[in-house]
Amino acid sequence: MEHAVVIAGGGPTGLMLAGELALAAVDVAIVERRDSQELAGSRAGGLHARTIEVFDQRGIADRFLSEGKVAQVAGFAGVHFDISDFPTRHPYGLGLWQNHIERILADWVGELEVPIHREREVTGFAQEDDGVDIELSDGESFRADYLVGCDGGRSVVRKTAGIEFPGWDPTTSSLIAEAEFAEEPELGIRHDALGTHAFGREEYEIRDGEVVFSDHGPVRVMVTEEHVGSTTDPTLRDLSEALIAVYGTDYGIHDPTWISRFTDMSRQAAAYRDRRVLLAGDAAHVHYPVGGQGLNIGVQDAVNLGWKLAQVVKQTSPESLLDTYHAERHPVAARVLRNTMAQVALSRPDDRIKAAGEVVSELLGMDEPRRRFAAEVSGLGIHYDLGEGHPLLGRRIPDLDLVTADGPLRLFTLLHEARPELLNLGEPGGFDITPWADRVRLIDATYEGAWELPALGAVTAPTAVLIRPDGYVAWVGEETELGLADALATWFGPPAPA
């Protein structure tokens, strides 16, 4: 079978990428090992503000918001950040378990009619100059122009491509499970010399900013293990022993629904692309889950890559556009690896580390550091290096309340179809982009409000902005068109012949 793009793995990253490619009318298919979107085990607990914005850019944020719990979720090393003063329509995060996030994404991808070939694995591939032959576990094979490995931390695609995955071995290991208990354990978090441990329930409410667990339903446990490096699948016995070591009892644990293990192993792919093969999400970066960032940056990798890959597949842009994917996204995950490693270090039970943690927490209590760190972990402060210029360049466009000839319009509505936009806020009719008119939409609008960016504050009002399909600003006009033609060609391909 042939597809323009085959995605290995239909987790959050693969699903988002499939949606982005389908919006661009690219023939894409997912190959997924699991027989349904059901997840064995809980993983991510929710979304950060930028990911909610990214979904809003596609018109699907309400699907998540209506099922989750809005809360202040950003934090660093035990310091909670309140981002309610940030200039965004969504100055908060969302508590929503990963199985629900995946279900909502899978429904969206289903509406976009992306085929998902389930209960099949990508087992290998061979790259040629003009395509990739992809082997599947059922003996079939696919031919594609591009293969994207969204197949998680143990990515077969990454390994087969021979892409290095340098980083750091684990220093701490935790078990996480859902089970029945003969005795009711005390719900909540405990810190001790071994690390952090917690009991909770799947169902909870947020009251006055605090998590309040339901008094019924399955109990979930997370417990740090005494030893790192176990290579076998975790068992009920491992869990019982770990609980006894920390709590002095295993509370009569029995009948686990699932048990899994995670560590603070931190690794990142040395290259996000090898010719016709790309990596995104956990396949490209793994780290400790503290701060709840992994799923978020995976989804945002997908949104960065989708439109670029679509343009290359359609031959409107040269292959070199794909190099900007690594250039922009590798540094973002590198910072997440750094901030999670720092948080693991600061949680160590040593008086001097504790003192360092207190200093960090004092610093983060100050407004400027809070704003910077909160902008970073919420994803709202991401800045792609697109060169010198106006502060908006390489940053997310805010969801402005515009007025057009057709009436009021939220800027994010313009991005629903994942197409590039040139927003002219100056004299109507002041631009002529005919050579790109088949690819870039020109919108004349007015905007009366302030221009404010998270962490940076007020910036000068531009007279025009070129917005990429991922919502990042590719060019800023300040009274002139200087640099616009170059930016259009760089991001959306050479001008069409007259």
Ligand X SMILES: Cc1cc2nc3c(=O)[nH]c(=O)nc-3n(C[C@H](O)[C@H](O)[C@H](O)COP(=O)(O)OP(=O)(O)OC[C@H]3O[C@@H](n4cnc5c(N)ncnc54)[C@H](O)[C@@H]3O)c2cc1C
The least distance separating ligand X from the CB of residue 398, rounded to whole angstroms, comes to: 23
Q: Do 26 and 5 contact (CB within 8 A), yes or no? A: yes
| Residue 292 engages ligand X in binding (rule: CB under 6 A) | yes
Nearer to ligand X, 41 or 391 (CB): 41
Least spacing, CB of residue 307 vs ligand X, in Å: 19
Among 17, 29, 44, 445, binds ligand X (CB under 6 A): 44
Q: Of 50 and 439, which has the nearer Cβ to ligand X?
A: 50
Residue 12 interacting with ligand X (CB under 6 A):
yes
Q: Which is nearer to ligand X, 38 or 448 (CB)?
A: 38
Choose which of 27, 33, 110, 348 interacts with ligand X (CB under 6 A).
33
Complex with ligand X: residue 176 or 422, whichever CB lies closer: 176
What is the rounded CA–CA span in Å between residue 398 and residue 417?
A: 17
Q: How far is the CB of 142 from ligand X (least distance, A)?
A: 12
- Answer for which of 5, 6, 14, 105 binds ligand X (CB under 6 A) is 14
**34 near ligand X (CB under 6 A):** yes
The yes or no reply on residue 103 touching ligand X (CB under 6 A) is no
Shorter beta-carbon distance to ligand X: residue 279 or 473: 279
CB of 287 to ligand X, least distance (A): 9
Decide: is 95 part of the binding site for ligand X (CB under 6 A). Answer: no
Q: Which residues in the 303-362 window bind ligand X by CB under 6 A?
A: none
Site for ligand X in 122-161 (CB under 6 A): 122, 150-152, 156
Which residues, 167 to 186, sit near ligand X by CB under 6 A? 176
CB 97, min distance to ligand X, A: 9
Q: How far is the CB of 475 from ligand X (least distance, A)?
A: 31
Give the contact letters, 239-278, x = binds to ligand X (CB under 6 A), - = no: -----------------------x----------------
Q: Is 9 one of the binding residues for ligand X (CB under 6 A)?
A: yes
Residues that bind ligand X (CB under 6 A): 8-14, 31-34, 43-46, 98, 121-122, 150-152, 156, 176, 262, 281-282, 289, 292-296, 298
